[in-house]
Amino acid sequence: MTIDWIFQPLAALNANAREQGLERQGQLTKPPGSLGLLETMAVRLCAMQGVDKPNVDHAQVVVFAGDHGIAAEGVSAFPQVVTGEMVKNFSRGGAAICALARQNNAQFEVVNVGTVVDLPSMNDVLDSTIMPGTSNFAQQPAMTLDQLSQAMTAGMAAADRAAANQVTLFIGGEMGIANTSSATALAAWATGQSVARLVGPGTGLDLQGISHKAQVIESALAKHAPAMISPVEALRHIGGLEIAALVGAYIRLGQLGIAILVDGFITTSAAIVAAKIHPQILDWMFFAHASAEPGHQTMMTSLGAKAMLDLDMRLGEGSGAGVALSILKSACVTHNEMATFAEASVSEKSA
């Protein structure tokens, strides 16, 4: 199995649809620019979807789940068994992202790419297990190239299912105890910033735990630095199965021309790796919220991205994106359903 497909070009935005969207915004019954970023979002969606009236009514939420060998280093406040337990909770519809998906009438599925515990067949859970969690990247590369390829292909398959279902917006979520360590390592590699500036509490570490976590990550980065000569090799050495699946999903969505709503800290680490491979992937991305994890803003700054919301959230799962989806719906409904000056017989701004 190869990953050559990830280097295929991405779809181009529709410039004509963007101009039509801008033209419509200029005709709506409001002062120009008065809806702020809602206008920008609507016009971007026009360009992404190739229409003058976009929608995000057909949204898909996919939570990728996978465990991390780095948990053996004591970098998480929770045991690894929680990953599998949360997959069961997702299946029962009991997690925050499940409630938010229901609120938004979004399709929902979980893709298990590798938990340390064997899981039974469950509703809305696709078993794409590659191995029972990554290897401990403090000691060795997290994955082999073949394992990385399988994980990225699982993400590609999720994107292909979304396209087959005519999805108009894709939200990727994640679940994996210790995955903030992997995301922090990737962020440090991608931005060149110190681990100390990026590391945070994850599931709830105290100050001593955060300090230990930083030391583990710094040591691992030093160990693998000579080999991490490309985004693919960085992802293979210090990434996670679910993060690799997200990278694969994002790239494939860009190739298919489907809008992406990026969640928080973990998913942004996947976005930053995808952007290292395809800088133009950012044309297809919205960023949902500013995570309370310390390193998130550094990643966002490096991407030139701006979060839609800042609610002090750091749950993951896609939950911040689930909230931000309502904002994108508002952008669409105001763009699509407001009257023009001509329709409403309202006088336009004086010349």
Measured CA to CA in angstroms, residue 129 lies from 102, 176, 187 at distances of: 26, 13, 26
| 174 included as an active-site residue | no
Rounded to whole angstroms, the Cα distance separating 144 from 141 reads 7
- Asked if residues 307 and 290 have their Cβ atoms less than 8 Å apart, the reply is yes
What is the C-alpha R_g of the chain?
20
Rounded to whole angstroms, the Cα distance separating 295 from 292 reads 9
SS3 call for 108: strand
Q: Which of 39, 293, 317, 343 is catalytic?
A: 317
Tell me the sheet residues that pair with 63: 110, 173
Query: Length of the chain, please?
Result: 351
Phi-psi sector, 132: left (phi>0), alpha (psi -120 to 50), beta: beta
SS3 call for 165: coil
- Would you name the residues annotated as active-site residues? 317
